[in-house]
A and B are shown apart, each in its own frame.
Chain A
Amino acid sequence: MSGVGLDGVTVTYGRRASRRTTAVAPFTDEVAAGEWVGLIGPNGAGKSSLLRAIVGLVEHGGEIGIDGRDVREMSDRERAALIAYVPQQPLIPDDMTAREYALLGRSPYINYFGSESHNDRVVVADVLRRLELEPFADRLLGELSGGERQRVVLARALAQQAPVLLLDEPTSALDIGHQQQALELVAELRRHDELTVVSAMHDLTLAATYTDRLTMLHHGVVVASGVAADVLTAERLGDVYNVCVTVDVETDDATGDTTVIVVPRRGAPAP
């Protein structure tokens, strides 16, 4: 169970000053252990850049710590045992079976010269079963549909059994049923294994439903952060996404739970 501390994190691309773009302006947040934070914001807002900084794929300014340990001081292996990451566009080797692919998630636990143990195979079989991927387990990735592949990528990340799970639009290729299934699984794992989850998401209603907290980025800057009902207002969405929506907030009288539903409306606002 690990929290993620982000202190003044910046991500800048381009070495030459003339071409420099700031993808993430100083970003400070404390993701509590076991919390699920949703990153939202339009394309190019900096969601992916922030996730990539946490997992060490881009250089960052400021400090990122897992349970107070600076990620820069970790070896690749140590970091991989702490942070599992599902990229927005994973590179899928066509001629690898789903099971072999999911087994790659066990790499951080295998000795340099070792090979997968029985336990590694059990973990992978379990994850594949929970994602209902058993029928595809021994098929080649090149022969799966986009959605099936996306679930296999999720399976690899879950097989990694890291306390922190970073998901970059993990359900963008899934139908509504499998979206729910994948997110339910993450939710269940989070409860069961006390995972800390940070996910970039495009479906605002799903983001509101599954996460504890939303952080909205726009041009690399945090424009709002908090519970979904506060962050997702029709006016703010109109400003940031340039859309016309209505937002319904339903409160369950018995439990006090709120559900936020974002509904697009006809008639785009003038640019």
Chain B
Amino acid sequence: MDTARRDRTWLLAGAAFLLFAVVVGASTGPAGPDWWRVPLELVNRLPLVSFDTGVSEAEWKIVWQIRMPRVALGGLVGGMLSIAGASYQGVFRNPLVDPYLLGAAAGAGLGATIALTIGRGVTASWPLDPVPTVAFLFALATVMVTYTVGAAFGGSRSGVTLVLAGVAVVSFATAVQTFILQRNLEVIREVFQWILGRLSGATWADVRLVVPYVVVSSIVLMLHRRHLDVFRVGDEEAATLGVSVGRTRLVIVVAATLGTAAVVSVSGLIGFVGLVVPHVVRLLAGAGHRRLLPLSLMGGAAFLILADVPGRMLTRPAETPIGVVTAFIGAPFFIYLLRTRKVTA
């Protein structure tokens, strides 16, 4: 079979794209060394390699302490949202689904709003910022509510009921959030800044916070690639092929949600990545999950790293939130995809 070789070629292409994005992400930004010196310095920093690149310690500090955490976090967030989006689309056989479908984003938004308003006076003096944690817990809780509601009325075998339950729960969470905001107008700006998503100010500590979730979630999802392919023939036929549909769907949704909630709680709600990246991968490399999942992971990481570049270059002093950039690129592109009518799950 030469499918195996083609799989490998695609993976190599994905890895090369990701590497390219990392180098570009590390090389661009206001201040810092000349952009072309950075790739050289990155090579120089590898073990067993040493030459003079003309990058000073101070300049390297800008690259390593300011740009690289941002690149790493962007990669983790973009990769996680994309692989989760691909998994959600597969498990619900719905091409218009994104990882926020069951309420991960709405829950996180509500949690952040509550943390920024109600808990504000209390937590101002805390050494640790409670917003990400509260957002994370609310995201998980919201998805749990959706799942319980959906499973109660549709049976665990119905994906459609789950999607509809998601719509209802998301509306409810958003309504509560709006209500709270209305009574706390002074935090609206802060909340919206949080919601629109940001990678600026990312630190290695942020990266360390989300790494375990992204790694575990991605591994679990990758291990279910074959199951996702079986899901493509529908719940019923998947069951006759020996898949325990309800249980397998639950495992996949839990894994995708855990990772999504973690990255959302650190970076805010970055839209369109989880929707568009899997579709682009499908158009290029086919719809089989054996390629789709790893390529979404790498392609999504590269996409978000690159999408973060114009944001830091263009508008100063106020940076354009990355959620705005991805929506700017993502929405027209998605309409183009719909126009070509090649969008399938």
Inter-chain contact count A-B, CB under 8 Å? 71
A94–B288 touching, CB < 8 Å: no
Within 8 A of A (CB), among B196-233: 223, 226, 229-230, 232-233
Question: Given A57-B239, A100-B288, A113-B223, are A75 and B244 also a contact pair (CB < 8 Å)?
Answer: yes
Complex interface: chain B residues within 8 A of A92 (CB): 233
Q: Bound state CA distance, A106 and B282, in angstroms?
A: 24
Are A76 and B242 also in contact (CB < 8 A) when A96-B288, A121-B1 are? yes
- Does A220 make an interface contact (CB < 8 A)? no
A91 pairs with B226, CB closer than 8 A: no
Chain A residues near B245: list those with CB within 8 A.
Answer: 76
Contact A76 B243 (CB under 8 A): yes
CA distance A77 to B287 in the complex (A): 25
Q: Is A182 part of the binding interface, using a Cβ–Cβ cutoff of 8 Å?
A: no
Interface size on B, residues (CB 8 A): 23
Which A residues, 81 to 135, have Cβ-Cβ distances below 8 Å to chain B? 81, 83-85, 87, 90-96, 100-101, 104-105, 107-108, 110, 113-116, 121
Q: Which of A181-199 contact B (CB under 8 A)?
A: none
How many A residues face the partner with a CB closer than 8 A? 34
CA distance A92 to B237 in the complex (A): 10
User: Residue of A at shortest CB range from B157?
Assistant: A57
Task: Give, as a whole number of angstroms, the nearest-CB distance from A131 to chain B.
Answer: 18
Determine which of A79, A90, A96 lies in contact with B242 in the assembled complex, contact meaning CB atoms within 8 Å.
A79
Encode contact with A along B238-260: 1 for CB under 8 Å, 0 otherwise.
01111111000000000000000
User: A160 to B241, Cβ gap below 8 A?
Assistant: yes
Q: Do A107 and B244 have beta carbons less than 8 Å apart?
A: no
Any A CB within 8 A of the CB of B154: no
Task: Tell me, rounded to whole Å, the shortest Cβ–Cβ distance linking B240 to chain A.
Answer: 5
Report yes or no: B241 in contact with A80, Cβ–Cβ below 8 A.
Answer: yes
Residue of A76, A80, A84, A85 ringed by the most chain B CB atoms within 10 A: A76
CB of B290 to closest CB in A, whole Å: 8
Contact B287 A95 (CB under 8 A): yes
Task: Decide: A87 and B237 in contact? CB cutoff 8 A.
Answer: yes
Closest to B287 in A: A95
A66 at the interface (CB under 8 A from B): no
Point out the residues of chain B lying under 8 angstroms from A77, CB to CB. Answer: 242, 244
Asked whether B319 is an interface residue with its Cβ less than 8 Å from the other chain, the reply is: no
A107/B243 in contact, CB under 8 A: yes
When C-beta atoms are compared, the residue in chain B nearest to A84 turns out to be B240
A11 adjacent to chain B (CB < 8 Å): no
Q: In this assembly, does A56 line the interface, its C-beta being within 8 Å of a C-beta of chain B? A: yes
**B239 lies within 8 A of A91 (CB):** no
Cβ of B236 under 8 Å from chain A: yes
Interface residues of B in 283-306 (CB under 8 A from A): 286-288, 290
Distance in angstroms from A163 CB to nearest chain B CB is 15
Residues of A contacting B223 with CB < 8 Å? 113
Which of B230, B240, B344 lies in contact with A95, CB distance below 8 A?
Answer: B344
Q: Which residues of A contact B242 (CB under 8 A)?
A: 76-81, 107-108
Residue contacts A-B, CB under 8 angstroms, 20 given: A80-B240, A80-B241, A83-B240, A85-B237, A85-B240, A87-B237, A91-B236, A93-B287, A95-B282, A95-B287, A95-B344, A100-B288, A104-B230, A107-B226, A107-B241, A107-B242, A108-B242, A115-B226, A115-B290, A160-B241
